[in-house]
Amino acid sequence: MHQRDRGSGLDLARISVSPRVVDAGLWSPQYSLHKFYEHRGRVGKAGRQGLPMDYLVENFELIESPLKFDGNCLLNEGINELWTLVTGTGATMFNNANANTGVGDSATAEDATQTGLQAATNKLYKAMDTSYPTYGSSQKAIWRSTFGSTEANFAWQEITVSNTNADTGKNLNRKVQDMGTKAAGSTWIPTLEVTIT
C-alpha cells in the first residue's frame, strides 16, 4: 500500500510603494524692456526717480511696443549668495544700495557656472532706480534700472541682476535675448520681476 502526501501552498509577497513627498518651488522670472525717445534728459531723470512705468508710458513717447520675455538661467554664484543671505551672514544683498542691472552684447548661451556678463567690452552695470527693488508682497521682487541716452549704446544680447556694479559681484541670473541695439537719443528701462510660488 502506497501513501502519497499532497500539499499545496501559496506564497504571498506584498509590495507597497510609499509615496515620495517632494516640496517644489516655482521660480518665475519675467523681463520687460521699455524703450523711450529721450527728450532733454527728462525720461532718464523720471526713470531714475522711480516714477511708475504707467506714468512714464503716458507722458513720454515709446520707440516701440514694450519687449517682454520669460525665463533666465539662475547662476550658481547667485544661488549660493541667496542661501547665505537666508541662513547666514557675510553676503551682499540685492537691494537698492547694491543691486545693478547689467547688459552686454554677448550672445554666448547661458550656463549656471558663469560669473557675470560674458561680453568682453560692450557691457554696463547700472544702479537701481529709486525705491527699487520692490519686495515683501505677492511672493515677488522687482528690480528696475534706467539707462540714459549716453549709456550702453550697443547691441543688447544679455542681461543680469548683480549685487555690485561689476562682474566681480554675485550675479543672480543671466538671460540671453536679442533686445535690439540701443542708440544715443534713447532711454531704455529694463525691469526684472521674479515670483516664487
Count Cβ atoms within 10 A of the Cβ of residue 43 and give its class: 0-12 exposed, 13-18 middle, 19 or more buried.
buried
pLDDT at 131: 97
Strand partners, 137: 140
pLDDT at 52: 98
Q: Which pLDDT tens digit goes with each residue over 41-83?
A: 999 999 999 999 999 999 999 999 999 999 889 999 999 999 9
pLDDT at 31: 96
Residue 67 · residue 95 · CB < 8 Å: no
Q: Which residue has the cell 521660480?
A: 27
pLDDT at 178: 98
pLDDT at 21: 56
At 155, is the secondary structure helix, strand, or coil?
strand
Cell (9 digits) for 175 = 538671460
Residue spans of beta strands (DSSP E) within 60-185: 67-70, 73-74, 100-104, 123-127, 134-137, 140-144, 155-162, 173-181
pLDDT at 26: 86
pLDDT at 5: 53
Collect all residues with Cβ–Cβ distance below 8 Å to 173 and sequence separation of at least 6.
29, 72, 73, 74, 75, 78, 160, 161, 192
Residue numbers in the chain where pLDDT is lower than 50: 10-13
